[in-house]
Copies of this chain bind each other. A is one copy, B any other.
């Protein structure tokens, strides 16, 4: 049995919405990305409204988030004051961009708070059962080291010119 393209597009959009939710993003965001990703030409805000069923307001804000993450790009046509949006199709590029974005996020500020805690322990200014202080100190130090490893890794990824499948395979071969 055959299926209409329009139906297939809708199914695809539905799928990406779920994936988006899984990653902790609004499902509308996944839908917006999906319609842009499978559109041969950039779309205007109103066209996105039409294809997703969301309102202008929601799209306006979510498309900005997507742009910040490098997953979509805003462009414009001469003599047309509409904004147009298109999806980034190089996902590896997006990943780098997302990691970069993350560095000024709340995540890092939370990590810094752990760092603070560690400093207090190192300066010896924490009172309480000696052995327990010692234990807590070691644990938090280990956690901090783990965070640093992740940080190192993600910074390196950001620097990579291209993180394609080829490179992934290279990495794996090194690790046997």
Find out whether the CB atom of A5 lies under 8 angstroms from the CB atom of B128.
yes
Instruction: Give the B-binding residues of A (Cβ under 8 A).
Output: 1-6, 8-9, 11-12, 14-16, 18-19, 22-24, 37-38, 40, 89, 91-92, 105-107, 110-111, 113-114, 116-117, 120-121, 125-129, 131-133, 135-136, 139-140, 142-143, 145-146, 148-149, 152-153, 156, 160, 164-165, 167-172, 174-175
Is B152's CB under 8 angstroms from A107's CB?
no
In the bound complex, residues from chain B placing their C-beta under 8 Å from that of A153 are: 168, 171-172
Shortest Cβ distance from A18 into B: residue: B110
A132 to B19 CA separation, bound complex (whole angstroms): 24
* Inter-subunit contact A5/B136 (CB<8 Å): yes
User: Chain B residues near A168 (CB, 8 Å)?
Assistant: 149, 152-153
Judging by beta carbons under 8 Å apart, are A174 and B172 in contact? no
CB distance from A145 to the nearest CB of B (A): 7
A interface, over-half SS: helix
- Contact (Cβ within 8 A) B107 A8: no
Q: Is the pair B117, A12 in contact by a Cβ cutoff of 8 Å?
A: yes
Q: Is the CB of B117 within 8 A of A11?
A: yes
A4 to B111, CA, bound (A): 21
> Could you list some 30 contacts between A and B, CB below 8 A?
A1-B125, A3-B126, A5-B127, A5-B129, A5-B133, A8-B120, A11-B113, A11-B117, A12-B114, A12-B136, A15-B113, A15-B117, A18-B113, A19-B107, A22-B105, A37-B139, A38-B135, A40-B135, A89-B139, A89-B142, A149-B164, A149-B168, A152-B165, A152-B169, A152-B172, A156-B171, A156-B172, A156-B175, A167-B175, A170-B175
